[in-house]
Amino acid sequence: MLFATLLHRTSPLAVGQMESAMWLWSEERFLQSSPHPKKRRFSFDVPLPAKVEDTEVAQRRSPECEKVVMAHTVPMLAGQPMVIGWYVAMAGALKAKDEERVWKLFEPALSVPIRLRLCLDEDTCQLAGLFFNELMFAGSSASGADSFWIFSEKVAKLTRAAKALADQVSTPKFREAIGQYRLTFKREPLTDNLIKALKGLSTFVVDKPCGTAYRLMEVFCPELREPTLLMRICQLCQGRPVSTGACANIFDCLRVFRLTGGCIKEDAYTVSKVTGQEKNTPALVHELFKNQDVIEFILHEAELAPNKGVAR
């Protein structure tokens, strides 16, 4: 099966991505694929981008044959949650000895499209992942296409973006620097506010402990996938002595508040609630800043923040 050639992943995964990926292979998704029972099937029409590090990885059987043979496994550039989700679903079907479901799952694995890319530089790899996410917007939570944090992580690794951020250029200059990549977010061109948000998040998305805290948090707080609130939190953290540590602490607290009922799902986190709105609404983050040392100690002792022992 072609899925067996795509075992190596190249980027971290969020819990929310895996949960959404599992739904893509669920019986509910299968029933929704068509109103006609005989036409129902699992499908995967978006090509999975895979990195070719060696031209010997893909070899043609003969000059007359268009089929490609994989010499060994190749790293995936995106789509890892969907493939892992398929393996989990198939394992469950085999364990349950559900032959009908096994064949349902086996069918897309036989024909899943894979697009091999000879990636000569890091930009090509990051762009392949970004474009895949945009193409998979219908399954956005699984691909990460609806998360501005994940989008910002990939953009920050692009050569021109990284240089512009290091040089601390203005917003217009930053837009010019990344203009040639023709990036979109949720299939829409980048606005000035999104450009500002990309700059605001740049310090934090490259910090591993901060990224881990975000991924643990966003599955319980999906409203934190949007750019505005993320940008405001990061802006307020920038003035702290260890800004990435302060940001990770905020994410840990927002997750714990949601888990313990301090902020129920129906009462979503908003910009005014979390970061304040002038003098009318006090900012939650300022209260967390004042008690950061105590909060970090409690979260660490309760084993709710595994990265607190890591220097930030």
* Residue 80, in any domain of the structure: yes
Please state, in angstroms and rounded to a whole number, the distance separating the CA atoms of residues 34 and 43: 11
pLDDT digits (tens, 9 = 90+) for 105-153: 888 877 666 777 777 778 888 888 888 888 776 666 777 888 899 999 9
* Residue 186, in any domain of the structure: yes
Long-range CB contact pairs, 272-277, < 8 A, 24+: 274/229, 274/232, 274/233, 275/229, 275/232, 275/233, 275/236
Q: Which amino acid is at 23?
A: W
Q: Is the pLDDT of residue 15 over 80?
A: no
Stretch (H or E) spanning 70: strand 68-70
Long-range CB contact pairs, 86-90, < 8 A, 24+: 86/3, 86/25, 87/3, 88/22, 88/25, 89/22, 89/25, 89/26
Please state, in angstroms and rounded to a whole number, the distance separating the CA atoms of residues 52 and 71: 11
Q: Which domain holds residue 151?
A: 147-206
pLDDT digits (tens, 9 = 90+) for 65-93: 666 666 667 777 888 888 888 889 999 99
Burial class (CB in 10 A: 0-12, 13-18, 19+), 85: buried
Same domain for 41 and 65?
A: yes
- Lowest-confidence region among 35-39, 151-155, 248-252, 263-267: 263-267
Q: Is the pLDDT of residue 218 over 80?
A: yes
State the sign of the Cα–Cα–Cα–Cα dihedral 32, 216, 258, 268.
negative
Please state, in angstroms and rounded to a whole number, the distance separating the CA atoms of residues 89 and 251: 31
Please state, in angstroms and rounded to a whole number, the distance separating the CA atoms of residues 243 and 81: 30
Number of domains in the chain: 3
In this prediction, residue 83 carries a pLDDT of: 85
115 has which bridge partners?
49
Q: Is the pLDDT of residue 64 over 70?
A: no
Q: Which of 206, 225, 243 is the last residue of a domain?
A: 206
Question: ∠ CA(238), CA(248), CA(293), 5° rounding?
Answer: 90
* Residue 142, in any domain of the structure: no
pTM given for the model: 0.73
Same domain for 236 and 183?
A: no
Find the largest Cα–Cα distance for the chain: 73
pLDDT digits (tens, 9 = 90+) for 19-54: 888 888 888 888 888 888 888 888 777 778 877 776
Query: Could you give the 3-state DSSP secondary structure of residue 8?
Result: strand
Please state, in angstroms and rounded to a whole number, the distance separating the CA atoms of residues 238 and 279: 21
Q: Count CB atoms within 10 A of the CB of residue 163.
A: 11
Q: Which of 106, 137, 168 is the last residue of a domain?
A: 137
